Amino acid sequence: MTNLSIIEDGRRWIASAKRSDRLEVGECCPRQPYIEIQIPKLASSVTRVTISTVSHDQGWSDEKDRYGGTYERSNTYFDIVVITPSCHDRVRSFIFQMNAHAVLEPRRHENIWNVESDDKTRCAWLQSTRGGDTIQIFPVARLQLWTNYVYEIEAKVEGVFHDQGKDLSSEIAHLQISPRADRLGIYKPLEEAHRQTRVLSLYPGNFEDPLICSIMTVSLDDPGHDAYEALSYCWGDLRTEETIQVREPLENSEGLAHDMAITSNLYEALKHLRPESGPPRNLWADAVCIDQTNFKERSHQVASMPSIYTEATRVVVWLGSNVNSPIRKKSLSTLRRIEKRFEDEYDVSKTYTSEEREQFESKIINAEIQNLINYTIDWNSCEFDWFRRTWVLQEISNARSAVFRCGFDELGSALVKGSNQPTGVLRSAIVPSIWFSIVQLGETSQGPHLMASEGILEILIKAHSLKATDLRDKLFALLQFSKESKDVTLSPRVRVDYSKTPLQVFTDFVRWWICTHRSLRILSAIHTLKGRSWQQLYYGEPPELKTLEYPSWCFWPVGDDRMASFILGLSRDAPYQASGSTIPDVELVNSPDISKTPHILQLSGHRLCTVTKIEPFPIWAFPDQPNELRDAFMKVFDPASSGRFLLPGTDGQDAQKLKEAIQNFLARHYTYHSRGFKGSIPYVPCLSPCFFVTDELGEQCYGLCPHNARPGDIVVLLYGGPVLYILREVNPGPGDEKVAGETTIDGKRYHFVGECFLSGHMNGQALTKVQEKGLGKEIFDLV
């Protein structure tokens, strides 16, 4: 828990946290922070960090005689991470403290960093941290048999608030264009019927000259429209603005110029892209070419972006400035050499097979990069935010051709595009994996080919790793990449519409998905959301579901795509059919009362039992548990050790060998803890308690539940659900009588906790039982 103190008449703040639980961490343990500190939302900067750790390693190693007592070759240490409110790393994590090598006695270490330090790396780290971020400290053990024994961590973070009286409400999800520019008529209405858009004409000038431009209207239906390039860039820090001058058309006025505010990142891009002489350079840049204050226009223009980028002569990708960044210059210089060799040695008259293409690429890359691991480390140090931006998937995939700019350095599109699907470690290292799963970046005679082979739900989950200034764009920017959502007849409920709030966008999306697929599989996706995975991956008590910024049943675009592998009912080929052949009641999902109570999702089904007690999974009895329970447990509680073994039924593995591999893994993991602080215990303490037993179904049944389940929650079967689910009855408080337009709370309401597993009831058995008993269906109101 973070303790916050306000000092110096509210100008400064101190946030602190301390934890003294003894904990041992081995290589198999889930990555979980030992301590977290919340930065105040209104903080303008962090000026000082103090971290004290008390810990040691296992006390022995094969190299104790050589390195014992030193910090060399130590494989136990502490990482520090800064997480944004959108669940992304603010900057790269780094190791800030090692344990002394093979020393059993606890040692206290203190690290102090401040913005006045000579350590530029730490200063940059402090300056990058922002209000609302979370600082996490992770104990780590890297190799087998190494163990990090933690006794205590205390951390204190200091900083300053924004200037008193500043209106912080202006820091919203997107930068508002100056209303003065709108009043003076710079933005003329666009004709949707002729697919009109605006283009920025950037006038020539020297680098330090003021930026001057004008805005013209073009029709994409006109084959002779003025040629333009489309700019692909990151908006950057919305708190920093620069000003450009926009001239009105001479035929409408005397060429008056008006100031317009843009982000500093766009300002830097335009300065570097402006011609020194000659005619203006025509560019399409969303922040200027779209009236951001006009929701209707913004919705239509965003929906037209595939055409806008396809019609552009090329796409110019702005990666940022390389001033004072030798690592960026070095990395791009290497890529330019690779590109030059591709151009010189690639035989355009030859038809390459995939294998020949890959061999050709590998030869070129290996000739220019002697150490690929070091190059990848250098590339990641460049911190090009562009590769993590949601919109770039659409912008680059619809490009006829592309060029990359970093400062004045330029690189061709070979960075992410090639004659075939990009291959090799190099491109995999510099491009997020989602690129290869939804977009084939190779050029064809018809232009880039969109694979559109995955469902929009799967795409949205993978997009957790991407960033967007506006949460609504985490859906709008990705609709074109799925066959089910790129259709021109797409339901108005899911179309691009910026007049809707993010909450409306995603509650509408969930309802649409359920009705379109006649399935509740989307409900399992909540286990990819921040703080809602099966295994607890944060420190502290689970947050109350009523404090979420979205309904407990709603998919929300803030989470971790890696958790998708550790969910029971999310996959299309999940081996469960708990509700048999039933489907959701579409009329309930689309209840006429949605407009009044959009936060409520009505689903029909049956109550099965109550969770009365939750305990750690009984590892000691693991071989005696039913196979399906074993498989489910290993499916959802394997985030740290994925790949060490395969689940039964995959790749034709021998069942006995798999069972032995799983038991060996559990034994090794258990060994870490049995010799540690807790001694010999019949469970693995780093895994969340998840095991419950129920006698309510006429026989004793074993169940598994996620980390945020509680005794008193109920297990239900919902029509259309591949698995069973856990709900928690809502106990309305004094202020809950009127919620979102309701006049009263009539009947029971439930929070959606998540999916669950009940042995012997995951393939229609539960439905058969309730039907045999003649139990009528219930309607559950989820909030």
Mean of pLDDT values over 166-182? 39
Q: Is the pLDDT of residue 133 over 70?
A: yes
Summarize pLDDT for 737-767 with one digit per residue, the tens. Answer: 444 333 333 479 999 999 999 999 999 999 9
What DSSP string describes 468-504?
Answer: -SSTTHHHHTTGGGSTTTS-TT--TTTS--TTS-HHH
Q: State residue 175's pLDDT score.
A: 35
Place 167 in a pLDDT band, splitting at 50, 70 and 90.
very low
Q: Is the pLDDT of residue 734 over 80?
A: no
State whether residue 363 is helix, strand or coil: helix
Mean of pLDDT values over 377-384? 81
Summarize pLDDT for 665-718 with one digit per residue, the tens. Answer: 677 777 778 777 877 777 888 899 999 998 888 788 899 999 999 999 999 999
Give φ, ψ of 715 to 5 degrees. Answer: -100, 130
Q: State residue 745's pLDDT score.
A: 39
Q: State residue 738's pLDDT score.
A: 43
Distance CA 559, CA 123 (A): 28
Place 251 in a pLDDT band, splitting at 50, 70 and 90.
low
Q: Smallest Cα–Cα separation from 246: which of 209, 288, 276?
A: 288
Distance CA 423, CA 215 (A): 41
Mean of pLDDT values over 303-314? 94
* Locus of tokens 């009523």: 546
For residues 199 and 309, the answer to whether their CB atoms sit within 8 Å is no
Q: State residue 525's pLDDT score.
A: 98
State whether residue 344 is helix, strand or coil: helix
Question: What is the CB neighbour count within 10 angstroms for residue 535?
Answer: 21
Q: Is the pLDDT of residue 653 over 80?
A: no
Q: State residue 648's pLDDT score.
A: 40
Q: Is the pLDDT of residue 728 over 90?
A: yes
How many secondary structure helices (H) and strands (E) does the chain include?
Answer: 20, 28
* Stretch among 98-102, 117-121, 602-606 having the lowest mean pLDDT: 117-121
Amino acid (one-letter) located at 659: K
Q: State residue 415's pLDDT score.
A: 56
What DSSP string describes 180-197?
Answer: HHHHTT-SPPP-GGGTEE
Place 413 in a pLDDT band, splitting at 50, 70 and 90.
low
Tokens (6 digits) for 619: 């590892």
Place 501 in a pLDDT band, splitting at 50, 70 and 90.
very high
Q: State residue 347's pLDDT score.
A: 84
| More confident call, 235 vs 616 | 616
699 phi-psi bin (left φ>0, alpha ψ -120 to 50, beta other) = beta
DSSP 762: S
Q: Is the pLDDT of residue 448 over 50?
A: no
Q: Is the pLDDT of residue 420 over 70?
A: no
State whether residue 408 is helix, strand or coil: coil
Distance CA 404, CA 232 (A): 9
* Stretch among 377-381, 431-435, 687-691 having the lowest mean pLDDT: 431-435
What DSSP string describes 423-435?
Answer: -HHHHHHHS-HHH
Question: What is the CB neighbour count within 10 angstroms for residue 397?
Answer: 25
CA distances from 12 to 5, 241, 355, 747 (A): 9, 25, 60, 48
> Degrees (nearest 5) of the Cα angle 754, 758, 761?
120
Q: State residue 268's pLDDT score.
A: 94
Tally of CA atoms within 13 A in the half-sphere of 502 that contains its CB: 17
Q: State residue 672's pLDDT score.
A: 76
Distance CA 500, CA 70 (A): 59
* Stretch among 434-438, 476-480, 750-754, 757-761 having the lowest mean pLDDT: 434-438
Place 721 in a pLDDT band, splitting at 50, 70 and 90.
very high
Q: How many residues does the chain have?
A: 783
Q: State residue 647's pLDDT score.
A: 42
Q: State residue 445's pLDDT score.
A: 36
DSSP 771: H
* Stretch among 122-126, 371-375, 595-599 having the lowest mean pLDDT: 371-375
Distance CA 455, CA 470 (A): 22
> Degrees (nearest 5) of the Cα angle 377, 381, 385?
125
State whether residue 698 is helix, strand or coil: coil
DSSP 467: B
Q: What is the mean pLDDT of the chain?
A: 84
* Stretch among 167-171, 221-225, 387-391, 407-411 having the lowest mean pLDDT: 167-171
Q: State residue 622's pLDDT score.
A: 61
Distance CA 527, CA 555 (A): 9
Q: How far apart are the first and last CA of the chain?
A: 27
Above pLDDT 70, what percent of the chain? 85
CA–centroid distance for 49 within its chain: 27
Q: State residue 733's pLDDT score.
A: 59
Mean of pLDDT values over 125-140? 93
Three-state SS string over 539-588 comes to: CCCCCCHHHCCCCCCCCCCCECHHHHHHCCCCCCCCCCCCCCCCCCCHHH
Burial class (CB in 10 A: 0-12, 13-18, 19+), 336: middle
543 CB contacts (<8 Å, ≥6 apart)?
A: 531
Distance CA 55, CA 548 (A): 35
Mean of pLDDT values over 227-237? 90
Distance CA 86, CA 495 (A): 23
Q: Is the pLDDT of residue 231 over 70?
A: yes
Q: Is the pLDDT of residue 418 over 50?
A: no
State whether residue 115 is helix, strand or coil: coil
Taking the CA atoms of 334, 336, 337 and 338 in sequence, report the sign of the dihedral they define.
positive
4 CB contacts (<8 Å, ≥6 apart)?
A: 13, 14, 15, 38, 40
Summarize pLDDT for 555-581 with one digit per residue, the tens. Answer: 999 999 989 989 999 999 999 999 999
Burial class (CB in 10 A: 0-12, 13-18, 19+), 338: buried
Amino acid (one-letter) located at 318: W
| More confident call, 442 vs 191 | 191
Q: State residue 163's pLDDT score.
A: 66
Whole-structure pTM over 0.85, yes or no?
yes
664 CB contacts (<8 Å, ≥6 apart)?
A: none
Tokens (6 digits) for 735: 């202020």
Place 96 in a pLDDT band, splitting at 50, 70 and 90.
very high
Q: State residue 339's pLDDT score.
A: 81
Distance CA 458, CA 525 (A): 9
Taking the CA atoms of 335, 336, 338 and 339 in sequence, report the sign of the dihedral they define.
positive
State whether residue 749 is helix, strand or coil: strand
Distance CA 747, CA 350 (A): 71
